[in-house]
Amino acid sequence: MFPLFRVLWAAAGTLAAPALRLMLWVRARRGKEIAARLGERRGIAALPRPAGKLLWLHAASVGETVSLLPVLGELARQAPEISVLLTTGTVTSAELLAARLPALGLAGRVTHGFVPLDVPAWVARFLDHWRPDAAAFVESELWPNLLAACTRRGIPLMLINARLSARSFARWRCWPSVARGLLGGFASIRARSAEDAARFAALGAPTVRAVGDLKFAAAELPADPAALAALRAAIGPRPVFLAASTHPGEDAIILAVHHRLAARHPDLLTILVPRHPARGGAIASLPGAAMAPRRSTGAGPPGLREGGVYIADTLGELGVFYRLASLAFIGGSLVAHGGQNPLEAARLGVALVIGPYHQNFAEAVVALAGAGAARTVRDGDELATVVGQWLDDPKTRAAMAAAGPAAAARFADLPAATAAALRGLVGRRR
């Protein structure tokens, strides 16, 4: 079954190439691709290959990219002779790397590129140029044409921070030979939890280990000192409720929560940070937003007489806003998305409240709740109740915030261990 699937998938990718070109052009018009770099999505490299050994790492989006940053630092320390090509699939992850790599002293060691779409000719062109000595993919990136091309060329493969949800596992079990064929190409799968490891093993992955979640080992989100100081001065002693990384459907709930709480806490400032900054204008036009000021326009937080909602629709400033708040709601969890990363906030000492849809970070939520650093709620009514209780009880809120950093640092040694495993993977190529 797997050989037939591989042939059919390769044929489908080839036939889809013209439509995919059009799709890329449309995405570029919408700001979801960088027009000047569309060639990279077709395997056309914009930069030369570094000399010597090259490790290719691929992280789909921002969360996976951030989890790799400590690993990159460890690789630079352990194996300075190895250069790194880091590919991603989103504009936001590229922008994040452009800001973070120089700050970490890694700009000369790590080259960023966009991953090619899974068209056989585009994948071949990409591999012909970069000729990686080894490749590792983060979490659950399984592209059949890409994996098959790497295997044919003898490129050792690893899956790191490997994740397989119950839903994905159920789908793959319907195609056992296909799953076994795809996973069989990996020399090693380093799963983020025992549950994920068991699922990969049940699908026929040959070498699986549960080593821990790299998201528990990430560094603190950065914050521009000048921006932080200016916002603190503008906000003053007002209590701040932060709604971080919200998704469509959650913003109206947050606004309703704010107005309910403001009746008892008239000085409350609610800062709403959308997961995708482009939604800032749409949020400002919602009932209850009262055309709240938007950071993307240069506006600062509203004064006490100007309203209590501030829309922080900028990129890369979440570290600033977590440092301004003592309590935060983690977005993507009141709608059926699966939740955003709560560890970033916990690491900065913020008391957390999380909705019922947090399966993307289930282990982290369990760890934080068990340590007393987070509470889960079922809906907007419960969210308002919990936040109201914390506003009335600063001692409890402070105790929860203080419990976060230790709970979020469970796997502090994991980046070094992951870097060592990747160094060994590169050594497999002769």
Write phi, then psi, for 71 (nearest 5 degrees).
-65, -40
Residue 82 exposure: Cα atoms within 13 Å on the Cβ side: 28
CA distance 251 to 279: 10
Handedness of CA 276, 282, 287, 290 (dihedral sign): positive
Residues sharing a CB contact under 8 Å with residue 225, sequence separation 6 or more, in sequence order? none
Is 33 assigned a catalytic role?
A: no
Q: What's the CA gap between 71 and 416, in Å, rounded? A: 7
Single out the catalytic residue among 33, 40, 64, 363: 64
The full DSSP string for 25-82 is HHHHHTTSS-GGGGGGGGT--SSPPPSS-EEEEE--SHHHHHHHHHHHHHHHHH-TT-
| Residue 130 near residue 49, CB atoms below 8 Å | yes
Residues sharing a CB contact under 8 Å with residue 24, sequence separation 6 or more, in sequence order: 33, 38, 41, 42, 117
* Sheet of 327-330, strands arranged across: 309-311, 269-274, 240-246, 327-330, 351-354, 374-376
User: Which value, to the nearest 10 degrees, does the dihedral of the CA atoms of residues 378, 380, 385, 391 take?
Assistant: 120
CA 148, 152, 154, 155 torsion-angle sign = negative
Assess contact for 416 and 144: CB atoms under 8 A.
no
User: Which residues carry out catalysis?
Assistant: 64
